[in-house]
């Protein structure tokens, strides 16, 4: 049983030494079960504030041996990466007591009560932060961990309100972006529309993309749809989704893109399409910020429950259904000056308020570190 001192610790961190004017460098450990380099980007935010950071996150399986080991299904591949990450976390022995331990909770499932208690006992962090990056209905196991953090955050406004009403004070802390991988580069916008994400198992995304691809053929638009949807150790995907893949045809970019490759595509595309998952009813996904941070023009599905950060027609543009999506693309293809004006406003807004440095500072403020 974990010592009660670890439940909402009353230890106060001192951001400044009374005898000097320079802020003290904090030791920050970040443990994330989220893919796509998001934990590393959160770490960038704390590093940009001058703190020492150690990040643990699942990696991609690159070696031939690991691909053979994970040859049957993508879920096995994912479990393999998560298992290695969990092993690295439990084997790590910090040289000193971490000032802050940040848990980034997604849907992968290894951040459970046992893991949290083990790390609190062995690492003995002074302060604990739990930041939720998945809707709470998809990660019900998180309720077993809600008594531990000194600061509880959710990327969804709705979930922050629900958890607070249930007796777990939670702040709304949206995702953000890191300027390291996502930034403007000098490159020609050679693609008309670009989308990256999982779409074969998401019927709404697939419907939108098929509608758009049909119009693209009629209009002669150059579009790219990126996603690692079939490969040599996942042959069934091609057969199961043959019709959809044939309709996408040459538009499909069958590969997983890392953040720097994504940044290149955002910079080379006139319109960057963003389609949220159906569970993200009151949030902006990380891709929202990445596109704007790269200086791209963003066309995103309407966020009825999340209108607090960006204004359609000012920082980005939105659509409500497949027909409106095609109509908006057709209009925007003929309005390059409007696209560039909105993209520039979105870029300035996200640079000003929505970097992970901004989020890291907000976390420190809530923890009482000046």
Q: What is the DSSP string of 272-308?
A: EEE---TT-TT---HHHHHHHHTT--EEEE--TT--S
- Give 57-91 pLDDT, tens digit per residue: 876 444 444 444 444 434 444 566 677 778 888 88
Q: What is the mean pLDDT of residues 345-352?
A: 98
* Sheet architecture: strand order including 252-253: 252-253, 223-226, 191-196, 269-274, 298-301, 317-319
Q: What is the pLDDT of residue 66?
A: 42
CA-CA distance, 57 to 60, in Å (whole number)? 10
**Predicted pLDDT at 247:** 85
Q: How far apart are CA 115 and CA 89, in angstroms?
A: 9
Identify the weakest region by mean pLDDT among 10-14, 127-131, 137-141, 220-224. 10-14
Compute the average pLDDT of residues 119-143.
93
Whether pLDDT at 21 is above 70: no
* Cα atoms in the 13 Å half-sphere on the side-chain side of 74: 12
- Give yes or no for a contact between 111 and 86, defined as CB atoms under 8 angstroms apart: no
C-alpha distances in Å from residue 249, one per residue of 227, 234, 240, 261, 268: 13, 19, 15, 21, 20
Given a contact cutoff of 8 angstroms between Cβ atoms, the answer to whether 157 and 282 are in contact is yes
Task: Give the mean pLDDT of 336-352.
Answer: 98
Q: Look at the domain 191-353 and name its fold.
A: Rossmann fold (3.40.50)
Please report, rounded to a whole number, the percentage of residues in the chain having pLDDT higher than 90: 59
pLDDT reported for residue 83: 75
> Could you give the strand order of the β-sheet that contains 171-172, starting from the edge strand earlier in sequence?
52-56, 27-32, 100-105, 127-132, 151-154, 171-172
Assign 37 to helix, strand or coil. Answer: coil
Whether residue 178 contacts residue 44, with contact meaning beta carbons closer than 8 Å, is answered with yes
Closest alpha carbon to 290 in 237, 350, 209, 214: 350
At 202, the pLDDT band (50, 70, 90 cuts) reads: confident
**With contact defined as beta carbons under 8 Å apart, do 226 and 195 qualify?**
yes
Q: Largest Cα–Cα distance of the chain, in whole Å?
A: 71
**Fold of the domain spanning 4-176+355-367:** Rossmann fold (3.40.50)
Task: Give kind and range of the element (H or E) at residue 152.
Answer: strand 151-154
Residue spans in the chain of domains classed CATH 3.40.50.2000 = 191-353
Task: Give buried/exposed letters for 282-298 (b at 16+ CB in 10 A, else e).
Answer: bbbbbbbbbbbbbbbbb
Beta-carbon contacts of 358 under 8 Å, excluding residues fewer than 6 positions away, are: 45, 176
Across all residues in the chain, what is the average pLDDT? 84
What pairing do the DSSP bridges indicate for beta strands 100-105 and 127-132? parallel
What's the whole-number mean pLDDT along residues 222-247? 71
> Above 70 in pLDDT, residue 237?
no
Highest mean pLDDT among 250-264, 269-283, 346-360: 346-360
pLDDT tier for residue 300 given thresholds of 50, 70 and 90: very high
Which residue did the predictor score with more confidence, 67 or 128? Answer: 128
Q: What's the average model confidence in pLDDT over 173-199?
A: 94
CATH 3.40.50.2300 boundaries in the chain: 4-176+355-367
Confidence of residue 132 (pLDDT cuts 50, 70, 90): very high
Q: Determine the pLDDT at residue 59.
A: 62
């Amino acid at each position: 049983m974990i010592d009660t001192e670890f439940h909402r610790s009353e230890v106060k961190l001192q951001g400044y030494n009374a005898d000097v004017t320079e802020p003290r460098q904090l030791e920050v450990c970040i443990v994330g079960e989220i893919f796509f380099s998001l934990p590393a980007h959160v770490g960038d935010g704390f590093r940009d504030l001058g703190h020492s950071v150690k990040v643990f996150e699942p990696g991609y399986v690159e070696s031939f041996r690991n691909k053979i080991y994970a040859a049957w299904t993508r879920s096995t591949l994912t479990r393999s990466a998560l298992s290695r990450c969990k092993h690295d976390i439990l084997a790590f022995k910090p040289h000193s007591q971490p000032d802050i331990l940040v848990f980034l909770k997604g849907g992968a499932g290894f951040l459970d009560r046992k893991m949290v208690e083990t790390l609190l006992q062995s690492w003995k962090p002074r302060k604990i932060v739990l930041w939720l990056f998945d809707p709470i209905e998809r990660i019900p196991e998180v309720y077993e961990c809600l008594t531990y953090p000194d600061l509880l955050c959710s990327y969804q406004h709705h979930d922050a309100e629900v958890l607070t009403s249930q007796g777990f004070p939670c702040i709304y802390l949206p995702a953000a972006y890191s300027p390291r991988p996502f930034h403007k580069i000098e490159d020609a916008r050679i693609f008309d529309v670009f989308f990256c994400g999982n779409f074969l198992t998401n019927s709404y995304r697939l419907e939108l993309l098929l509608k758009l691809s049909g119009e693209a053929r009629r209009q002669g638009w150059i579009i790219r749809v990126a996603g690692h949807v079939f490969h040599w150790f996942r042959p069934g995907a091609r057969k199961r989704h043959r019709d959809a893949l044939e309709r996408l045809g040459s538009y499909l970019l069958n590969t997983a893109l890392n953040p720097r490759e994504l940044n290149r595509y955002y910079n080379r595309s006139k319109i960057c399409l963003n389609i949220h998952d159906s569970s993200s009813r009151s949030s902006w996904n990380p891709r929202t910020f990445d596109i704007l941070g790269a200086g791209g023009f963003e066309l995103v599905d309407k966020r009825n429950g999340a209108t607090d950060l960006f204004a359609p027609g000012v920082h980005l543009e939105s659509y409500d259904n497949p027909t409106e999506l095609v109509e908006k693309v057709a209009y925007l293809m003929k309005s390059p000056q409007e696209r560039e004006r909105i993209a520039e406003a979105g870029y300035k807004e996200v640079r000003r308020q929505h970097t992970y440095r901004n989020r890291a500072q907000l976390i420190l403020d809530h923890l009482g570190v000046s």
